[in-house]
Amino acid sequence: MDDALILMADGGGGERMMDLVRQEILSRFAPADASGELARLADAAVLAEAEGQVAFTTDSYTIRPLEFPGGDIGRLAVAGTVNDLACVGARPAALSLALVIEEGLERAVLGRVLDSAAACAREVDAPIVCGDTKVVERGGADRLFINTAGVGRIEGGRRLAAEGIRPGDRVLVSGPVADHGVAVMSRREGLRFASAVVSDAVPLWPLAEALLAACPGLRVLKDPTRGGLAAAVNELAEAAGVGIEVEEARVPVRPAVAGACEALGLDPLNVANEGKFVVVVAPEESEAALSAMRSHALGREAAEIGEVRPAPARGPRVTLRTRIGGERVLEMPYGQDLPRIC
């Protein structure tokens, strides 16, 4: 028996699986779970009663490679789900963690990835309270997939939703775009000149909390993951039934990221982020939102990038004022530029 690799028997529901769960899961996540629910290994965790509405979200992560500059699938899985909760204004209350492991995965890799997930969860005090472990035979999965679901609490009955967006509202982004996608892609493609680019994967709840406190007129937060800023803005315009104009020159992009996108034939506006918000806010609070973000470590390079317009009678909802002064449609990406990016 080679304990360095995960075997099919580690997922069978028997004594071996209990050992794996104790060694790899409970050791890392139970100490941070004040409720003690994870350690009970019951069929479901019971959360403490609390005031307010409950938010609920899920995401599966299939990123390749599992480890990349600035993060790994464990960090991504925790940050991504915390960020989805933050987008509706919910403080993360409890997370689940479900693993699908390909037989033969090195336990050392699993350990590193779970260490990283645990560290990320501690950053925002979001305990992992329930989970699941499945093992499939070699060739039945690509090393490791992680699903995280999250439950959050919305305090003060405040509702962030695209439906609150009005013409005249300002569109902001909390920092430079496309870092995550470019970091992963340049690792995958072996682009040496982009080696300085690291993923922005980070749990954004603290930034959301700062924005909620600073801006009573905060309409909505959205994390521009797959499909990048272009998809996020299009989805907001569609959901709100408005037009949005984005000014290309105002969208922050790091030079190394811009260079890598050029080399890869990608538009940075279509490339995934894992630690940024698109923020829509009432016009009179745009400055307050910018200043709240810029005075926070997670939003130092925040920028106003556009404005909400009345719904166009027909035609595209999102337009881009280009650097050279022209105007073009900022399209919803069609298929995908970067597979397996999250």
13 binds a copy of itself (CB under 8 A): yes
- Site for a copy of itself, residues 255 to 294, rule: CB under 8 A: 272
Burial string for 315-338 (b: 16+ CB within 10 Å, else e) reads ebbbbbbeeeeeeeebebbeeebb
Q: Closest CB to a copy of itself among 71 and 256?
A: 71
Binding mask 186-225 for a copy of itself (x = CB under 8 A): ------------------------------------xx-x
- Residue 133, classed as helix, strand or coil, is strand
140 binds a copy of itself (CB under 8 A): yes
For 313, residues 6+ apart whose C-beta sits below 8 A from its C-beta are: none
How would DSSP label each residue in 175-230?
S-SSHHHHHHHHHHHT-GGGTT--------HHHHHHHHHH-TTEEEEE---TTHHH
Binding mask 310-339 for a copy of itself (x = CB under 8 A): ----------------------xxxxxxxx
Report the residue from 32, 60, 250, 263 that binds a copy of itself according to the rule CB under 8 A: 60
Report the residue from 22, 23, 31, 54 that binds a copy of itself according to the rule CB under 8 A: 54
Stretch that binds a copy of itself, among 6-14, 166-174, 244-252, 289-297 (CB under 8 A): 6-14
Report the residue from 69, 74, 150, 243 that binds a copy of itself according to the rule CB under 8 A: 150
Class of residue 234 by CB neighbours under 10 A (exposed 0-12, middle 13-18, buried 19+): buried
DSSP conformational letter for 12: S
Dihedral, 230, 277, 74, 81 alpha carbons, nearest 10: -100
Report the residue from 6, 25, 30, 45 that binds a copy of itself according to the rule CB under 8 A: 45
Binding mask 61-100 for a copy of itself (x = CB under 8 A): xx--------------------xxx-xx-x---x-xxxxx
